[in-house]
A and B are shown apart, each in its own frame.
Chain A
Amino acid sequence: MIKLTHVYKIYQPSVHALSDINIEIQKGEFVYLTGPSGAGKTTLFRLITCYDQPTSGAIEVAGVDLKKIKPQDIPLIRRKIGVVFQDFKLLKNRTVFENIALPLELAGIRKAEITDRVNLALEQVGLKYKGPFYPMHLSGGEQQRVAIARAIISKPGILIADEPTGNLDAALSEEIMDLFAKINAQGTTVFIATHNLAFITKGNRRVLKIDKGHIVEHVPSASREEIKYEIELDF
């Protein structure tokens, strides 16, 4: 689903943001990406979402070689990836319903179908009656759920989240992570960058650790104890 082969990203004059990154994430996997600030997590997500080009190496997302993609096709690949950010990125002048409906409107879906799908998404994220509200009237956790609903409304194969719980307290973070787990259980590939040790060490998820642009640790979904120890030492 996501494959990076010998990917380098060098910003001029000589900042090595990413060096020899090799990652392969299969369809339906749930993977955490962790590492200190400035390690290269956001750069990696920017490359996957076509906001930037690697200096060298190959990136394949949903079967598409991003090196060969034409500029006019970039929006189409983005429609196959749901993205969630720490700061929610919701349109303040649109209601919750309108924010979630936006990707469907861009895809030219009929109004009646948009209404059905948005109502279903609102129900999935536990905001059934919040459709007419504006983002400013919602709590941080609710806003993040709206962002998640918008990210999954087009049924993308991949969901990427960059520090999705960074602005939320522990209880709300737990809820959001449960939501990601539910989405993953429905078959969506989930790739989350987070500092939250509690989530990384909990459950049986694959973890990639990045530092100074290198993948320094690759812990498969089996052994929890080693990663817990390593990460606790780092943070």
Chain B
Amino acid sequence: MNLSTFAVLSLSLGLIYGTVLFSHNTSRLFSVWGEEIQITVYLTDNISESQIEQIKKKLESSEYIVRHDFIDKVQAAKLFEKSLKNYGPQFLSSLKSEVGSPFPASYQIQLKPEFNSPEKVSKIADEFSAMGGIEDVSYGQEWVGNYTNLMRIARVLGILFGIAIFVGCLFTVSNSIRASLASRREEVEILELIGATNNEIRAPFLIEGAFQGIISSVFAILILGGIYSYSFQFIDGVLGAQSADKVLTFFSPLVIFLMVLFGGIIGAAGSYICVSKINTGWAAAEGARSL
């Protein structure tokens, strides 16, 4: 096997697999962060009893809610005071003495994990916004919106990037096999001469291509595994409250098997692009041309 082909193919496959790994873990990370999404439904100060009943009824009957907690105006002020006690104690006490608690009563809603996607959270928030007696619904709209857009862009870029590298891999293998075919032209001519069929002649080249793909794939996964293990400790520090063990994963054995298979298929396909021109006299014709 040609060393430069092996290096280029390993690098290309490593980029594809690296993109898949990055995309998978980013998605998992966002999903874990997504689990912390809470919807806060702020009630108006002049909310009526019937409106409260309607909201309660909806909260209790909704299939997507794990739990909900009512925070009245006083509790809201206390929570605010607790969170900011080191920063502005005078400001908080001045607010209390003049107008009472300025904070609205609210419901804090935690959703079931399967309803934590940005699209679903947004839809649920809209349902509450449409109800009477509700002043505002908050769930980190800006973050969720950015997340959705980011993921969409990342997905499209990932697909385009993957296609470009895939095509590159095909041509890398194809060129390598072309060189191999040229150096073995006489051998192919002899096989044609003694009545070998096209498939019998092509088979060794297809196997060679598949073998190149498989070996390069294994090497790419090993290198990627090394990089993943090495960078794990740094990522762990960046994630803060989230443990990297819980969030990040490497490829499962099944995925590794599929990737090695993918490498083999790319190798065989690249090889086929080149050897498909072999037909019951190709080598002899090439030989005659080169005379």
Contact = CB atoms under 8 A, between A and B. Distances in A.
A79 B187 CA distance: 17
B189 A75 contact: no
A78 interface: yes
Task: Give the one of B189, B192, B193, B195 with max A CB within 10 A.
Answer: B195
A52 interface: yes
Contacts of B195: 75-79, 103, 106, 154
A52 B279 CA distance: 12
Interface in B179-212: 186-187, 189-198, 200
Contacts of A91: 187, 190
Contacts of A51: 281, 284-285
Given A51-B281, A51-B285, A75 B190 contact: no
Contacts of B280: 50, 71, 74-75
Interface residues of A, number: 22
Binding site secondary structure of chain B: helix
Contact of B189 (A46, A72, A89): A89
B129 to A, nearest CB: 70
B187 A102 contact: no
B197 A83 contact: no
B110 to A, nearest CB: 68
Interface in A65-112: 71-72, 74-79, 83, 89-91, 102-103, 106
Interface in B155-196: 186-187, 189-196
For chain B, the bracket of interface size reads 10 to 19
A150 interface: yes
A102 B284 CA distance: 18
Contacts of B197: 72, 75, 106
Given A51-B284, A51-B285, A91-B187, A106 B194 contact: yes
Nearest to A104: B194
Contacts of A89: 186, 189-190, 193
A102 B191 CA distance: 8
A189 B186 CA distance: 27
Contacts of A76: 195
Contact of B200 (A49, A78, A106): A106
A52 B197 CA distance: 16
Nearest to A106: B196
Contacts of A52: 281
Interface in A174-214: none
A71 B193 contact: no
25 contacts: A50-B280, A51-B281, A71-B279, A74-B281, A75-B192, A75-B195, A75-B197, A75-B200, A75-B280, A76-B195, A77-B195, A78-B192, A78-B193, A78-B194, A78-B195, A79-B194, A79-B195, A89-B186, A89-B190, A89-B193, A90-B190, A103-B194, A103-B195, A106-B195, A106-B200
Interface of B: 186-187, 189-198, 200, 279-281, 284-285
